[in-house]
Structure 1
Amino acid sequence: MMSSGRVALVTGAGRGIGRIIAVRLAEEGFDVGITARSVKQLTETAELIKQRGRRVVVAQGDVTSSGDVSRVLAGVTTALGPVDVLVNNAGYLGRYGSFADSEPDDWWRVVETNVRGPALCTRAVLPSMLSRRRGHIININSLQGSRSGGTSAAYSVSKAALMRLTDSIAAETTGSGVVVMDLSPGLVRTAMTDDRPDLGLLPAEEWTPPEAAAGHVAALVSGRYDALHGRFVHVSDDLDSLLPRTAAHPDARVLRLVPAGPDDPLSDA
């Protein structure tokens, strides 16, 4: 294991994808701050990180609370140093069903968790990253944000909003040394997906192992793929082949409203 002397903060790190990402970053030489709402689950993740020989800070909190986010960041930076990598992994799927049958408070909780959470965490770490002219922010996103339909409008809306948040922050930070990207982990079997109504109908090949997402996170924060700044990356992507393809198309893998043709007024917008 190489020692990077760098610090990562992973939200939603108590279980599932977040836990595996946090452990993988420890294997890559990062000291890791981990946060989630369950202290018990965080403690289990922390033990795995310690087994990799890295320092870890457990900071229980709710990413939708600005007070909690400030406290988490203070605890991590005091013990480990400034954050070099932020992985906004904490997310909430909500209840399946139509928008007409949705419960408004639960619907809004999905949006708050998936958009307000990453916004607060990013806002907390960004000034330090900008002053040091280095940092990586990985927002765990979903293709559901670019598709219509589905069984959770709140989730789709939140992930589309997260794409726009990534795009906006990327535009502000271009050339600053701070790199921001979306990463879709694919369809991963976790506690969050166990309530899918079509769970028994999905073939085995539809599922992606969570280790694949962790491997992509490790690659994206290595610096080798910083040219993908502001882009949407999928776990199935071959990153080396994606680089030249996105370089040739400025609007590739970003959220855009595409004009309907040359006479569409959007063409000149």
Structure 2
Amino acid sequence: MAPSAEYEFPSFTNTVHRSAYDAISPTNPSNSASGKVILITGGGIGVGLNIAKAYVQAGAKTVAILGRRENVLADAKKDLESAGSSQILTFKADIVDEAALEKAFSSTAQQAGAPIDVVVANAGYLSEPGPAATADLGDYFKTFEINIKGTLLTFRAFLNHRTTTHTPVFISLNTGAAHNVFPNISAYSASKLGQGQLIAHLAVENPDVRVVSMHPGVLASEMNTKSGMTISRDDMSLPSGFAVWLASGRASWTSGKFLWAHWDVDELEELRGEIEAKGLLGLGLLGWPRVEKPKVVV
């Protein structure tokens, strides 16, 4: 059974949030994106558009948004231009189209006159909900193609055009469903679990890049509506502000981690020592290891 509208997930921090607060506010000087070039996939609507708007409010030099629908991108451009003084760029691109991604990234760097500082990999796909045993396999595996391959292609394009004067940041939007089991969305959950593990590998293999997974919360979006799940909703300002915080200096230690936008960032910073010492907030197998030094029998 899916959670009810009153359902609350357990938390890593004592305090949880459902909307933005000062520590993650785009107008907080510690979260300034001044001079930065930002690129967001799936940036024309919903979560992606609101994250783009937050970076505009944080003073970004350039915000580029990618999407598949030109009319949606045109409307989003007008919306973002009214939110601040950032240069707004739009590109029609599917994240599983390597050539289109490369063109969008190279054009962003060229038009901005600077390499890209932050990428928010927001674009994703949810197949038609239903039991795995009877699901349409084409639609089912399209989820893996977009959520895993698309994320990898986005990261590879970023590597070609990332800044080298300071630490570039790659934020991958994930979901709490990656480490929970809900009926009828197995393709989405499994693909997002794979995406999260991919992000962990990219973080280890590219130590010069801050690579982090982020659960944005439960939001009123096209994907959430399609899922049919009725969980209590969060305000769009929550993931928007959290994404801006993740790109700030205060979040320099988060690479390789899987973080929820709900979690209080002041508490997270206080818990940093424990998180790093114990290797917390990564994907793994519950209960393992139970024995650190087992007796080996040959």
Q: TM-score, normalised on structure 1?
A: 0.90
For residue 281 of structure 2, the aligned residue among 246, 253, 256 is 253
How far off is 1:263 after superposition?
Answer: 7.3
State whether structure 2 residue 55 is matched by structure 1 residue 25: yes
* Matching residue of 2:88: 56
For residue 75 of structure 2, the aligned residue among 44, 53, 58 is 44
* Matching residue of 2:245: 219
Unaligned runs of 5+ in 2: 1-26
Q: Which has the higher contact order (CA 8 A, sep 6+)?
A: 2
SS at structure 2 position matched to 1:53: coil
Residues 116 and 163, structure 2, Cα contact 8 Å, conserved in 1: no
SS at structure 1 position matched to 2:203: helix
SS at structure 2 position matched to 1:29: coil
How far off is 1:251 after superposition?
Answer: 2.0
State whether structure 2 residue 218 is matched by structure 1 residue 187: yes
Counterpart AA for 2:115: P
* Matching residue of 1:154: 187
Residues 185 and 227, structure 2, Cα contact 8 Å, conserved in 1: no
- The count of corresponding residues between Structure 1 and Structure 2 is 260
Where do 1:111-190 residues align within 5 Å? 111-129=144-162, 131-174=164-207, 176=208, 178-190=209-221
For residue 234 of structure 1, the aligned residue among 226, 242, 260 is 260
Residues 238 and 261, structure 2, Cα contact 8 Å, conserved in 1: yes
CA deviation digits over 1:151-196, x for unaligned, max 9? Answer: 211101111111111111111233x2x2111110111111111123
With over 3 angstroms needed to count, the CA separation of the structure-2 counterparts of 1:260 and 1:136, relative to structure 1, is closer
Residues 33 and 55, structure 2, Cα contact 8 Å, conserved in 1: no
Q: Percent of counterpart pairs with the same letter?
A: 25
- Higher mean displacement: 134-143 or 42-51: 42-51
With over 3 angstroms needed to count, the CA separation of the structure-2 counterparts of 1:158 and 1:264, relative to structure 1, is farther
Unaligned runs of 5+ in 1: none
How far off is 1:146 after superposition?
Answer: 1.0
Output the aligned Cα RMSD: 2.1
Residues 49 and 55, structure 1, Cα contact 8 Å, conserved in 2: no
SS at structure 2 position matched to 1:189: coil
Counterpart AA for 2:133: A
SS at structure 1 position matched to 2:54: helix
How far off is 1:88 after superposition?
Answer: 0.2
Displacement over 6 Å in runs of 4+: none
Residues 246 and 253, structure 1, Cα contact 8 Å, conserved in 2: no
Q: TM-score, normalised on structure 2?
A: 0.82
CA deviation digits over 1:33-63, x for unaligned, max 9? Answer: 1101011111111112212111011100100
